[in-house]
Amino acid sequence: MYLEHVYSKGLAHSSYVAGSGNTCVVVDPTRNISRYLEIASSSGMSIAAVLETHLHADFISGHIELAEATGARIYAPASAGCCFPHVPLSDGETVSIGKLSFRLINTPGHTPECAIYVVSDMERGQDPVLVFTGDTLLVGDAGRPDLFPEKKELLAGQLYHSLERIRNLPDRLEVYPAHGMGSLCGRSLSAKLSSTIGNEKIYNYALGYRDPSEFIKSLLENMPAAPDHFARCSGINRLGPPLISSLLKPRRLSSKEAYGLIEDGAILLDTRNYLHFASLHVRGAYSIDREGNLPLFAGWVLPPDKDLILFDGQDDLSRDVLDALYSVGIDNVAGYLTGGMDAWVASGLPSDSVAILTPVRLKELIDRGGEGQMVITDNRLRKEWFSGRIEGSISMPAPDVRTGYALLPEGCNIVTVCGSGARSMMAASILKQKGFQSVSNLAGGIGAWLNSGFNLEKDGTDA
């Protein structure tokens, strides 16, 4: 049996190529299928099938792309109700590809149609050797059951029973989930990307409950906010995403062409380093540093119904940036700005900037009571804020600034803070869009603050 793990860092997503002889299958593929084609070609295999464990909520799947490119047959849980040509599988049904046997087990809970695939390598025998657990069982965690708020208690109860089915699998089975640490499909995922059923029985808290009511209560408490695209992607995956080749082709744009599109309602995404954005940027632009988690935050904060212009300081379109946007269903990329900020400014077009504060300067302002009415917004996740924050800061995760800005005093001096400076610059860019004039960003974020010798407050004490 051939098995290769394909990890997509920005999505914290794991997909797999499993082969036997000259054929293989791809499990839970991403929309960018080039890596799967390379693996199959270099290994002398043809891609015969695509197996989906569920309708992924956090990214656009590559099932349609692979079927179009290779003729592969798509298999998915029958309960998903997929609207494209596929083979629906019911609980207990088996698919044989080469010498590999894949048995689907329905495991609803993370989503209503979740399933896992128990795999046997028939060259070795009928006993199963591994299981692709999708988002049902993750290493150290289970898939969050609250993505459908109106039935989250029902799904949490189903997840409890689904995990009981998984507990009954042999301890020796290798576990290969669809996500690792960094994904918001769970709450406390491990950095490990694979495990065994036996290890998860010992170390995974989600498998330790014997009371369904306690399990449901625990799984629904303190879940991080679900990004906006989580509500869109599963529906797109059910219908079958449009082929990338059918999408609008991004074109080169001069400053004046880009400005004309912005005047007509397009938005601009600036993916440069946050310090470059701070010094000078197109007025009204979103800042999402490409070195951060671009697909997560693009799917979370960018309006999906508006034309998008890209700018990363280069005159060539970044394929990596484009793939990151396509991976979360941001398909309407109209073009990319050329000429840099030099050309933009020379054209007399509106620009803006964000002040940068060093940790020493911010500490001075805090010690003397700020300048005017100063508000420090901590743009990390809530759990990060609780773990340690700058004294007097308020928690406002960067995506929440889109609505939370209304709670800020009019005319106040705002300082945005995160772990490194990138997420807080995204928050600063949104505040600028909302009309706040005095916005500063802490350079280096909490990391730089600590390295400067300053303390953090935690539960009313210094940490």
CATH number at residue 21: 3.60.15.10
pLDDT value of position 311: 98
Outline where 388-443 has alpha helix (H). Answer: 401-404, 422-433
Residues 338 and 192 in one domain: no
CA atoms within 13 A on the CB side of 26: 33
91, 75 Cβ separation under 8 angstroms: no
401, 420 Cβ separation under 8 angstroms: no
Residues 123 and 213 in one domain: yes
d(CA 74, CA 76): 7
Q: Could you say which of 352, 382, 400 is where a domain stops? A: 352
d(CA 286, CA 304): 13
Indicate the pTM of the whole model.
0.94
Residues 399 and 334 in one domain: no
pLDDT value of position 97: 95
Contacts of 252 (CB under 8 A, 6+ apart): 315, 317, 335, 336, 338
Distance, first Cα to last Cα, the chain: 51
pLDDT value of position 463: 46
Contacts of 35 (CB under 8 A, 6+ apart): 6
Which tens digits make up the pLDDT trace of 276-292? 999 999 999 999 999 98
d(CA 374, CA 416): 11
pLDDT value of position 369: 81
Please report, for the domain that includes residue 386, its CATH number: 3.40.250.10
Residues 210 and 289 in one domain: no
Which tens digits make up the pLDDT trace of 127-160? 999 999 999 999 999 999 999 999 999 999 999 9
pLDDT value of position 187: 83
Residues 344 and 392 in one domain: no
Q: How remote is the C-alpha of 161 from its chain's centroid?
A: 27
pLDDT value of position 371: 66
Residues 411 and 371 in one domain: yes
67, 50 Cβ separation under 8 angstroms: yes
Residue type present at position 52: E
Q: Residue 37: which region, alpha, beta or left (left: phi > 0; alpha: psi -120 to 50)?
A: alpha
Residues 119 and 253 in one domain: no
Q: Could you say which of 302, 325, 352 is where a domain stops? A: 352
For residue 383, what are the domain limits? 355-462
Q: Residue 399: which region, alpha, beta or left (left: phi > 0; alpha: psi -120 to 50)?
A: alpha
Residues 180 and 254 in one domain: no
Residues 52 and 199 in one domain: yes
Residues 58 and 173 in one domain: yes
Contacts of 175 (CB under 8 A, 6+ apart): 130, 131, 133, 137, 139, 194, 195, 196, 197, 199, 200
- Give which of 163, 195, 192, 166 is closest to 180, Cα–Cα: 192
pLDDT value of position 75: 98
Q: Could you say which of 310, 325, 352 is where a domain stops? A: 352
DSSP state of 150: G
d(CA 335, CA 315): 11
Give me the tens of pLDDT residue by residue for the chain, a chain 463 residues long.
999 999 999 899 999 999 999 999 999 999 999 999 999 999 999 999 999 999 999 999 999 999 999 999 999 999 999 999 999 999 999 999 999 999 999 999 999 999 999 999 999 989 999 999 999 999 999 999 999 999 999 999 999 999 999 999 999 999 999 999 989 988 888 999 999 999 999 999 999 999 999 999 999 988 888 999 999 999 999 999 999 999 999 999 999 999 999 999 999 999 999 999 999 999 999 999 999 899 999 999 999 999 999 999 999 999 999 999 999 999 999 999 999 999 999 999 999 999 999 999 999 999 988 667 899 999 999 999 999 999 999 999 999 999 999 999 988 999 999 999 999 999 999 999 999 999 999 999 999 999 999 999 987 554 4
446, 379 Cβ separation under 8 angstroms: no
Residues 33 and 158 in one domain: yes
292, 422 Cβ separation under 8 angstroms: yes
Question: Can you read off the two tokens belonging to residue 138?
Answer: 């993750």
Residues 348 and 366 in one domain: no
pLDDT value of position 310: 98
Q: Residue 265: which region, alpha, beta or left (left: phi > 0; alpha: psi -120 to 50)?
A: left
Kindly give the interhelix angle for 34-42 and 63-70, rounded to the nearest 10 degrees: 40
Number of domains in the chain: 3
